[in-house]
Chain A
Amino acid sequence: MASPPAFRGARGCVTIPPMIQPLGPSERERARALVQAEGLAFDLDLDDLVGAYQGGELVAVGARRAGVLKMLAVAPAHQGGSLLGEIVTELVRLGSAAGHDAFFVFTRPAHAPSFEALGFTLLATQGRAALLEWGDGLGRWLAASRPLVRDGANGAVVVNCNPFTLGHRHLVEEAARRADTLYVFVVREDRSAFPFDVRLRLVREGTSDLANVRVLDTSRYAVSALTFPAYFLRQADDVAAIQMELDLRLFARRIAPFFQVRRRFFGTEPFCATTRAYNAAMLRLLPALGVEPVQLERLRGSGEAISASRVRAALRKGELEGLEALVPPATLRFLRSPEAGAIRARLAAGEERHA
């Protein structure tokens, strides 16, 4: 079938745009070719893959993984039309049906306006990458957090707490002393041995005696280097550094002003190279963005720094004794409870995905 002309001259009849359709496994190689031709990486970590054909040729593709849209590519000859909007509409429709109400896209800054024209909001941008969101999830999350906002020179820590240890407690205490109100943002992303609701609860219980501390869910808007997919970047790009910068720009420009956060606190990191790099990025980038980074010395117990990974290592070996030197009473109670049985078993089986 030959490609239909864009217009049918005298009859003045515009061609019907190609239908967006789901792509099956047999069409993946074509999708891969188009995605890669547009300079993006192709992967199969996805929930939906859709595309549009014209004249038997695949001219546009897009994919969705949970609330992230990715691998959006339109063949050069078909760019500038409505195909991108149609692909995104279909992915948003499918994602909404799957229960998501906000959608992220990572793209090059030059492409950000194409997404803004579809109703996306720019969350953060740096030299080589931009993060946009559709559905105003950030605005809704901030609005829902408004009752927790207190006037003052406030501070923030962003923590995973997998699980909450005496080291975290020390960090929160020290930070709370240096802020009018301290917001403890607990990373929501569920890629840790301890599920989010347990991590949040243990932080709440472990800090409930500190009057100026407020514990919040980060939703997806702070420290989710984990959630920032790198698919659209070339291998050579320093993906981790770009993700960290986007994360920090989003924090400093959109989150910190709302909570009147002037300082961001974090502990020195003896073990994890990624966390160390993230700390270095905070020290380098935050001052210019109006937030003062404050690095606090880690609490040490019997020589080594107290860390959640030490707690998990002990659990992995089935050592419940001696944990009281590492975790506060609420965490200890939980670790010894039947509720923690499944987590202990998972750790013992070595199924941990991420620290």
Chain B
Amino acid sequence: MTIGKKAQAGTLQSSDLMVFVEPAAELTVEIESTVKQQFEHLIREKILEVLRAHGVAAGRVRVTDRGALDYAIQARVETALRRGAEE
């Protein structure tokens, strides 16, 4: 899957996250989280896992997290990727 255009998924509500994806030459993942201190590495790992599963090797992924659990992270990232996927 390739990120071909800007896309977004998720909400600002508690226990959710908002994911932005946009095309870029390299893969970058920026994380903002209420639980960044404790869990940034786990959130990043989860996001990278979803990106790998979809074969995404390039793009800018920006996440603002409000303490979302793994399955929410997976669902939101997948949705953002599908919305931003090149046809």
Tell me the A residues contacting B by CB distance below 8 Å. 82, 85-86, 88-89, 92-93, 96-97, 101, 117-119, 134-136
Contact = CB atoms under 8 A, between A and B. Distances in A.
B11 interface: yes
Given A92-B18, A101-B20, A118 B12 contact: yes
Contacts, number: 35
B66 interface: yes
Interface string B20-37: 100000000000101000
Contact of A119 (B6, B8, B12, B20): B12
A19 B66 CA distance: 21
Interface residues of B, number: 13
A88 B10 CA distance: 12
B83 to A, nearest CB: 11
Contacts of A93: 8
Nearest to A117: B14
B6 A96 contact: yes
Contacts of A88: 12
Nearest to B11: A89
Interface in B45-79: 62, 64, 66
B13 A89 contact: yes
Given A92-B18, A97-B6, A119 B11 contact: no
Given A88-B12, A89-B11, A89-B12, A135 B6 contact: no
B35 to A, nearest CB: 12
Given A89-B11, A89-B18, A136 B6 contact: no
